[in-house]
A and B are shown apart, each in its own frame.
Chain A
């Protein structure tokens, strides 16, 4: 693996008026690495990912993707550059199929009878099947709306969309929060697969067990600043909690 990180922030700051939500934050994610982002509520985790994914413009500092500085004015631009954010409230249209969700907003078209433009449902279904297979999620009802699937399966669809569009960096905001325990395990296994595919993952969670199960490194924020960075193998739950609450 090259020594150049996949994604890097340098001295990133963001203030909302007088409120300093994030200050001087430098971190990086390598290819094939899962970095957990931990911290109490209001510690700046969400501000950080929004500054990376184009929702906010940073007040100062840089974001670098594969060593090149980037500046996104919208989440769409970030997505086109390969940074995909998967929100905890699942940005899926429940009434549409997996394929239609993967292609939502960029549907493929084909020609019927040689002239009539129609949605290419076959391509969408094929993409859904192959992408879901890549995530070890085997569906045989590709025309069913995603509301028929369980929470973990829907999370897989959201991840599958990112994978299909070849996202290099996946930012996952509390991907396990709304799920039962067995489903959480499945999402953790999905993250392992993303890692094995050489993608970078930023994983936000309150659940230390999940963090220790899946991450390579942990970055702890407290009141908008870096409180500490540890390799998972070199740290313990107690130490992380201490970093989070301070003292």
Chain B
């Protein structure tokens, strides 16, 4: 055996922890792969930009803000999705919950502005939209936790319901918002940084705190790894899952409000193309779709990777369809790295 301390004879001592230090280095690198991807992409676009146009890509503040604004909505969806995926589930309804929230925010802000004044109407509309977004989240939570519907199916049903309700409320069209304060929130800046980026950054920090520093976050990891162990440890899984899907609804609701602010209009299809981007961001960020692993900062990197690819390819004037191919390739590479890492570190996902 290893260099287990020579215990008194006749007594077999459990060996000291003999985990290999070099493994942790490989793991660290694999954990940071999304950031490495991001760095490689930025360097690649920078080189291309300098050779092709003789101009800088990343040192141009306009590009940076554009990418950040681009990443806002997918990132908000992806933070909620990170929690859900770590728990071993998935939330397919987020995109249309976002659309629903955008439509509700537009209607309520328009309706409330004459009586409350513009700023209060925006606050009120935001609260109502996020509260409405919690309802489909609540139903998702009930389906998954109490009725034991698989998350994929339950949230797929809610995908349809939220979509239909959003289009009905919007009357099949987009709902313009006439509110100067809301438009300033969606397009204005503070110290050169767009307000919606600041709001998103603060929200992401709060979500990071919840995932990494609270019991809720800790239980989320435990449930994703071994639900039975979590139950035996006395964790109330039903209550946890209910709150989890409500949280996911809140993320989608906030994304919808910020979308409505940016475009000064609510659209039911606002989040439609973003759902799969959100799942992709989580996976590129290092989470496992089997549950039990993932971080918010990894997801931030994953969302930025997607945004940089999408914006960068437009910037260097490549046909937009290459975006799909590039994002797809990055997802596949990311999953391959994940699996290689598990093999190296002797993970037990095949148990």
Binding site for B on A (CB under 8 A): 75-76, 79, 87, 89-96, 100, 104-107, 109, 112, 116-119, 135-141, 144, 147-149, 152-153, 156, 182, 185-186, 188-190, 192
Contact = CB atoms under 8 A, between A and B. Distances in A.
Given A96-B221, A144-B19, A104 B230 contact: yes
A147 B14 CA distance: 17
A139 B218 contact: no
Nearest to B215: A107
Contacts of B14: 135-137, 152-153, 156, 186, 189-190
Interface of B: 1, 5, 7, 11-17, 19, 23-24, 209, 213-215, 218-219, 221-222, 224-226, 228-230, 232-235, 292-293, 345-348
A136 B224 CA distance: 31
A87 B228 CA distance: 11
Contacts of B224: 95
Nearest to A147: B348
A91 B225 contact: no
B17 to A, nearest CB: 4
B7 A96 contact: no
Given A93-B225, A94-B348, A95-B224, A138 B213 contact: no
A109 B216 CA distance: 12
Summarize B's interface: helix, strand, loop or mixed. Answer: loop
A147 B233 contact: no
Nearest to B345: A148
B229 A92 contact: yes
Contacts of B15: 153, 186
A62 B221 CA distance: 39
A211 to B, nearest CB: 17
Contact of B226 (A75, A76, A91, A117): A91
Contact of A138 (B17, B209, B232, B293): B17
Contacts of A141: 17, 19, 24
Contact of A76 (B214, B234, B346): B234
Q: In this complex, which of B17, B225, B232, B346 has the most chain A Cβ atoms within 10 angstroms of its Cβ? A: B17
A107 B218 contact: yes
A89 B346 CA distance: 18
B233 A117 contact: no
Contact of A139 (B11, B16, B215, B233): B16
B235 A118 contact: no
Nearest to A98: B17
Contacts of A156: 14
Contact of A91 (B17, B218, B232, B293): B232
Given A96-B221, A118-B213, A119-B213, 14 more contacts: A89-B228, A91-B226, A91-B229, A93-B226, A95-B221, A96-B218, A104-B235, A105-B230, A105-B233, A136-B13, A140-B16, A186-B15, A189-B14, A192-B11
A189 B13 contact: yes
B293 A100 contact: no
5 contacts: A79-B234, A90-B229, A92-B226, A96-B221, A135-B14
Contacts of B345: 147-148
The 8 closest A-B pairs by CB, nearest first: A105-B233, A93-B222, A104-B233, A105-B234, A118-B213, A91-B229, A139-B17, A95-B225
B349 to A, nearest CB: 9
Nearest to A161: B233
Contact of B12 (A95, A117, A189): A189
A177 to B, nearest CB: 15
B222 A96 contact: yes
A15 to B, nearest CB: 25
Contacts of B222: 93, 95-96, 100, 104
A140 B17 contact: yes
Nearest to B18: A150
B169 to A, nearest CB: 38
B213 A136 contact: no
Contacts of B348: 94, 147
Contacts of A117: 213-214
A109 B19 contact: no
A144 B345 CA distance: 11
A70 to B, nearest CB: 18
A16 to B, nearest CB: 22
A10 B313 CA distance: 76
Most chain A beta-carbon contacts within 10 A, residue among B1, B5, B12: B12
A189 B17 CA distance: 17
A112 B213 CA distance: 10
A105 B235 contact: yes
A95 B233 contact: no
Contacts of B213: 112, 116-119
A197 B271 CA distance: 60
Nearest to A188: B12
Nearest to A94: B225
Nearest to A79: B234
B229 A149 contact: no
A186 to B, nearest CB: 5
Contacts of B226: 91-94
A91 B233 contact: yes
B225 A96 contact: yes
Given A118-B213, A136-B13, A138-B5, A93 B293 contact: no
A92 B232 CA distance: 9
Q: Which of A93, A96, A107, A119 has the most CB of B within 10 A?
A: A93
Contacts of A136: 7, 13-14
